[in-house]
Amino acid sequence: MNFLENTFNFILPQELNMYYCGKRYKTLNHEYGPEVRGHFLIVFVKEGNATILSETPHIRLKTGAVFFMFPNHRIHYKVDPDCKWTILWVGVYGSLVESYVKMLGLTPENPVFYPQNPDKIEDVLSRIYDASQNESVSGKIKCISLVQSFFSKLFENFSEKKIKNSHINEAVHLMRLNYNIGISVNDVAKKINIDRSYFTRIFKNEFGVTPGRWLNDFRLEKACELLCETDLPVSEIATSVGVFDSLYFSRLFKKKYDISPSDYRKENADKIHE
- Residue-wise pLDDT for 12-24, tens only, equals 656 899 999 999 9
pLDDT interval class at 243 (50, 70, 90): very high
Kindly indicate the confidence band of residue 183, based on its pLDDT and cuts at 50, 70 and 90: very high
Residue pair 190/226 in contact (Cβ under 8 Å)? The answer is: no
H helix or E strand, kind and range, residue 19: strand 17-27
Measured distance CA(47)–CA(148) in Å, rounded:
24
Decide which of 116 and 235 is more confident.
235
Q: Strand order in 59-61's β-sheet?
A: 31-35, 75-79, 50-52, 59-61
Longest dimension (CA), the chain: 78
Q: Containing H/E element for 68? A: strand 66-69
CA dihedral 85, 18, 115, 27 (to 10 degrees): 0
Q: What is the pLDDT of residues 100-154, one digit of tens each?
A: 888 887 888 889 989 889 999 999 999 999 999 998 888 889 999 999 999 999 9
pLDDT score, position 273? 46
The pLDDT value given to residue 207: 82
Query: Can you tell me the distance from the alpha carbon of 111 to that of 37, in angstroms, rounded to the nearest whole number?
Result: 15
CA geometry: angle at 200 spanning 102 and 159, to 5°?
45
Q: Got the DSSP string for 132-189?
A: TT--SHHHHHHHHHHHHHHHHHHTTT--HHHHHHHHHHHHHHHHHHHGGGT--HHHHH
Which pLDDT belongs to residue 135?
86
pLDDT at 204 over 50: yes
d(CA 246, CA 260): 12
pLDDT (0 to 100) of residue 274: 45
The answer, yes or no, to whether the previous bond of 57 is cis (omega within 30 of 0) is yes
Q: How far is CA 102 from CA 48, 68, 269, in A?
A: 27, 12, 45
CA dist., res. 107 & res. 104, Å (int):
9
* Residue-level pLDDT at 163: 65
Q: CA–CA separation, 114 vs 171, rounded Å?
A: 25
Backbone angles phi, psi at 74, to 5 degrees: -65, 130
